[in-house]
Structure 1
Amino acid sequence: MYKSTRRRILATSIAVSAIGALALTGCSASGGAEKTAAQEKTTIRFMYATGDETWNSVVDSVVTAFNEQSDDTVVKPDPLPAGSDYATAMKTVDATGNWPAIVDMRDTLTYINAGKLAPIPSDVTDLLEPDAYGKAEDGEVYTVPNSALNGEIGINIVYNKVYFKEHNLKVPKTYDDFIALMKKIKANGDVPLATAAGEVWPSDQLWKPLAAPIFAAHSDDGGFWNAAAEKTTSIEDLREPLEELKYITDNFVLEGWQSTADAQTTTLLVNGQAVMATSSAGLGRLNDIHKVDPKFNAGLFIIPDEDGNINVLKNSVVGDTAGGLAISSQAAENKDELASSEEFLKYFYSVEAANLMEEAGWISPNIKASDEVTRNDSIPGAEDYFALLENPKLVWYENAPTWGTFSAFNTFFRQSRIEMQDGQSSVDDTISKVQTELDNQVAAAG
């Protein structure tokens, strides 16, 4: 089921998510390739965000396996731990001029335009399905995916299946059903929902499915944010989902969400402090729960809209929001480091690496040899994830900003929403100041 589904949705699918807000550590003293005296191997750095435990284990297992089999290269993980915004940490790397060879990208378009990324060699892209990557305006490919392009299936609600069964609760089929579900849980004396805002990025987990119907309505216009930049829509059009976000936070969310880290929601769910939790990890979050408590029966669903549609964003393979792995232009200036970067990426998109990823609970990238990959369907709740890909009411939409300062605006918007949810500002004030910031950022982008 899953293999055929992946092929069918490739033309419209996209990558993840993403992920995390992080602090800068681990940069080596030299940005160039390093040689060990004994082995004469080239050492390259792989910088990545560590917001998701499953992704962390994927990097560890793939890098370890690669290093064991390579005669020419040693990959040195260069993680940026949680605590500050990863995009900000990348700016610090840029300012120091100490770029690693392989980079887990954010603000992709900004760095392409600044000449900080090197084209991905065709020996790498030839391993991927054609729709798994895209070319920039100059015709070059600068990023390749770090996971399957299944859109924001990971922006979902994880829930306690045993609790649902004991209280005769059902997965909601419409948005009104979702609100009614939370009211029933609250009437039982339990907390319906845990969410996180200890870092700003998890605030998207509840917001995006609420705003998705409006975003989806602009899919054919180049996406809501491009339409907003062109002034054919505005932040005022987001009033209804902003009011819904405030209502849910005020009435159904576990207290302390402002300082809760994303990974903590796993513990809150397993310990029974909430019946449901927001997530952007998808299958990875189910795997995290299984590691914490193998007996916990978890499931997941996506908040539907009023018509029962499940709106899922297609993560762009181009544009400023595009993620994925890239080779820095600094590394490309050194022939040994460039060769080692290509070697590692070719391994990353091998069947061997894909099997390691799947075993860790990750959905491996869309490689051409996907039929040879062993899928992991042993994680409790995994059937819910795969069923979403088959759901007849799954609606894919696009919303990929092409203005280069979107990342700064998006951080401001996230912070503003958190302040609104926390009662520090009204919906009216939030709309006004966010519109002003959008206008300023679009003007700055030229």
Structure 2
Amino acid sequence: MTHAMMRPTARRVALVAVSAAVAALALAGCSNSSDGGDAGGKTTIRFLYATGDDTWNATVDALVKDFNEQSDSTVVELDPLPAGSDYATALKTVDATGKWPAIVDMRDTLTYVNAGKLAPIPTEVTDLLQPEAFAAAADGNVYTTPYSALNGEIGINVVYNKDYFEEHDLEVPATYDEFISLMEDIKSNGDVPLATAAAEVWPADQLYKPLAAPTFAEYSDQGGFWNVAAEGDASVEDLRDSLDKLSYITDNFLLQGWQSTADAQTTTLLVNDQAVMATSSAGLGRLMDISKVDPDFNAGMFIIPAEDGKIYVLKNSPIGDTAGGLAISSQAAEDEDVMASSVEFLTYFYSVDAANLMQENGWLSPNIVKSDEVTQNDSIPGAADYFALLENPNLVWYENAPEISTFSAFNTFFRQARIEMQDKQTTIDQTIEKSQAELDAQVAAAG
């Protein structure tokens, strides 16, 4: 299996009111420009994307600059949605305003496909990608293509201080019990074992998902846990063990202040020795961020293993309501020039030149047909650990792609409920009860 089989997880969702999303969009300039304008004889198109870690932001900037410099017909303008906003809510706001950008960093894909908001991506784009990197919707059309390598949730991992491990004769844990023992050893040294973040709700997955992965994996062949739960043959109660584990780690090993810590801030906490380890969902990008802050920091990376020693990692489905990726809006397709420019940009995005530029910036390039021509960036401290995870003999891929059209609303609710549980605002019993009620409500709403 090559490194470009599963995409790192995504990155950037937090709960805010719709009004905040409107304000964020205004800051991003969505209301101040439109697609199709004449820019010195060139067609202008907008690219709406969710900002994330420094590596992703720098990569997008570099790609758009490079494309604009070489294109004779198109100018791409960035519409970055500021970090910390609820990107899924922001997309609803875009829909409400009726001002869709040409290129959209997509969430809740099937919801917008069914609403007719996205245009089919032509084969001249999809032919540049390996077949496993995309999939057609029920109508046979492809509506999203990946913005990164499909490395699944390898990116949801723990980044650690290798020098500290060597100094204290510590080893990367091979089982969950060893992970707990590792944190006990660090704590006994008078140091903080683990930093995590919850200033936005989406980083709550970084610690929880590896804990829940063994349970999720049990339902992989049945369409995934959440689809089975939607049918009533599984329930949130089945996740009690993972919630117990989450609560225990929070109570005993986390750096205080995690409730108001931003995800990117964990890089500073790690480099400044405020914690020995930190959760991440940025994959190679987090390692790049660390190297920028402190080039001499000796970073390592591992995934929290299960009790049986397996490393259960979610595959990222290229289709499904939660699937992300780059899309062309149906509004863009109404203008021949805008559509042509959109296709031109995506064609560039999946070129070898663009892939090399992504790699230089520390981003894993999408799995294009010509991947063998791409120069992989293995110079980042800790990168060898990342790539080794993709070849780990204990790695077990599983699937869990919800088909509930309102799953994103439930997912945000469940994340917030877990944060409240970790913060002792609610009990595990209350978390399970209200999360199940919310799941039932969202399933009913989805029809």
Q: TM-score, normalised by structure 2?
A: 0.96
1:104 aligns with 2:105: yes
Distance of 2:173 and 2:139 partners within structure 1: 45
What secondary structure sits across from 2:192 in the alignment? coil
Q: How many correspondences in the alignment?
A: 436
User: What is the letter of the counterpart of residue 353 of structure 2?
Assistant: E
Aligned to 1:235: 236
Aligned to 1:213: 214
Distance of 1:188 and 1:107 partners within structure 2: 45
Q: Is the 8 A contact 2:8 2:283 kept in 1?
A: no
CA displacement, residues 327-356 of structure 1 (integer Å, 9 cap, x when unaligned) = 011111111110000000000000000000
Distance of 2:165 and 2:373 partners within structure 1: 37
Of residues 57-66 and 20-29 in structure 1, the stretch that sits farther from structure 2 once superposed is 20-29
1:33 aligns with 2:33: no
Distance of 2:178 and 2:252 partners within structure 1: 16
Of residues 84-93 and 126-135 in structure 1, the stretch that sits farther from structure 2 once superposed is 84-93
Aligned to 1:121: 122
Q: Is the 8 A contact 2:50 2:87 kept in 1?
A: yes
CA displacement, residues 165-184 of structure 1 (integer Å, 9 cap, x when unaligned) = 00000000000000000000
User: What is the letter of the counterpart of residue 419 of structure 1?
Assistant: E
1:30 to partner: Cα distance: 4.6
Aligned to 1:388: 389
User: What is the letter of the counterpart of residue 10 of structure 2?
Assistant: A
What secondary structure sits across from 2:132 in the alignment? helix
1:83 to partner: Cα distance: 2.2
Distance of 1:229 and 1:268 partners within structure 2: 39
Following superposition of structure 1 onto structure 2, how do residues 150-165 of structure 1 map, counting pairs within 5 Å? 150-165=151-166
What secondary structure sits across from 1:201 in the alignment? coil
Distance of 1:83 and 1:322 partners within structure 2: 20
1:82 to partner: Cα distance: 1.1
Of residues 22-31 and 303-312 in structure 1, the stretch that sits farther from structure 2 once superposed is 22-31
Aligned to 2:60: 59
Q: Is the 8 A contact 1:117 1:327 kept in 2?
A: yes
Give the superposed CA RMSD. Answer: 1.0
Q: Is the 8 A contact 1:214 1:238 kept in 2?
A: yes
Following superposition of structure 1 onto structure 2, how do residues 306-321 of structure 1 map, counting pairs within 5 Å? 306-321=307-322
Distance of 2:8 and 2:38 partners within structure 1: 35
User: What is the letter of the counterpart of residue 203 of structure 1?
Assistant: A
What secondary structure sits across from 1:430 in the alignment? helix
CA displacement, residues 355-388 of structure 1 (integer Å, 9 cap, x when unaligned) = 0000000110000011111111100000000100
Following superposition of structure 1 onto structure 2, how do residues 195-210 of structure 1 map, counting pairs within 5 Å? 195-210=196-211
1:182 aligns with 2:171: no
Aligned to 2:8: 16
What secondary structure sits across from 1:380 in the alignment? coil
What secondary structure sits across from 1:191 in the alignment? coil
User: What is the letter of the counterpart of residue 36 of structure 2?
Assistant: A
What secondary structure sits across from 1:294 in the alignment? coil
User: What is the letter of the counterpart of residue 319 of structure 2?
Assistant: V
Aligned to 2:293: 292
User: What is the letter of the counterpart of residue 5 of structure 1?
Assistant: T
What secondary structure sits across from 1:326 in the alignment? strand
Distance of 2:444 and 2:342 partners within structure 1: 37
Identity %: 73
Distance of 1:16 and 1:108 partners within structure 2: 17
What secondary structure sits across from 2:328 in the alignment? strand
Q: Is the 8 A contact 1:21 1:51 kept in 2?
A: no
Q: Is there any run of 5+ residues in structure 2 with no aligned partner, and where?
A: 15-23
Distance of 2:125 and 2:34 partners within structure 1: 23
CA displacement, residues 412-434 of structure 1 (integer Å, 9 cap, x when unaligned) = 00010000000000000000000
Aligned to 2:167: 166
Aligned to 2:247: 246
What secondary structure sits across from 2:68 in the alignment? helix
Q: Is there any run of 5+ residues in structure 1 with no aligned partner, and where?
A: none
User: What is the letter of the counterpart of residue 15 of structure 1?
Assistant: R
Distance of 1:75 and 1:387 partners within structure 2: 36
1:17 to partner: Cα distance: 1.5
Distance of 1:15 and 1:369 partners within structure 2: 17
Distance of 2:84 and 2:137 partners within structure 1: 32
User: What is the letter of the counterpart of residue 137 of structure 1?
Assistant: A
1:5 counterpart (2, 12, 37): 2
1:5 to partner: Cα distance: 2.3
Distance of 2:150 and 2:415 partners within structure 1: 24
Q: Is the 8 A contact 1:32 1:334 kept in 2?
A: no
CA displacement, residues 177-223 of structure 1 (integer Å, 9 cap, x when unaligned) = 00000000000000000000000000000000000000001000100
1:80 to partner: Cα distance: 0.3
Distance of 1:309 and 1:397 partners within structure 2: 12
Of residues 92-101 and 341-350 in structure 1, the stretch that sits farther from structure 2 once superposed is 92-101
Distance of 1:114 and 1:31 partners within structure 2: 22
Aligned to 1:271: 272
Q: Is the 8 A contact 1:15 1:317 kept in 2?
A: no
User: What is the letter of the counterpart of residue 41 of structure 2?
Assistant: E
1:32 to partner: Cα distance: 3.3
User: What is the letter of the counterpart of residue 277 of structure 2?
Assistant: M
Distance of 1:21 and 1:53 partners within structure 2: 16
Q: Is the 8 A contact 1:15 1:323 kept in 2?
A: no
Following superposition of structure 1 onto structure 2, how do residues 289-368 of structure 1 map, counting pairs within 5 Å? 289-368=290-369
What secondary structure sits across from 1:356 in the alignment? helix
Distance of 1:318 and 1:83 partners within structure 2: 25
1:51 to partner: Cα distance: 1.6
Distance of 1:29 and 1:260 partners within structure 2: 32
Distance of 2:119 and 2:379 partners within structure 1: 39
Q: TM-score, normalised by structure 1?
A: 0.96
CA displacement, residues 41-68 of structure 1 (integer Å, 9 cap, x when unaligned) = 0000001111221111110111000000
Of residues 89-98 and 224-233 in structure 1, the stretch that sits farther from structure 2 once superposed is 89-98
Distance of 1:248 and 1:16 partners within structure 2: 24
Distance of 1:153 and 1:424 partners within structure 2: 31
1:94 to partner: Cα distance: 1.0
Aligned to 1:92: 93
Aligned to 1:416: 417
Distance of 2:256 and 2:150 partners within structure 1: 34
Distance of 1:206 and 1:111 partners within structure 2: 30
User: What is the letter of the counterpart of residue 18 of structure 1?
Assistant: A
What secondary structure sits across from 1:299 in the alignment? strand
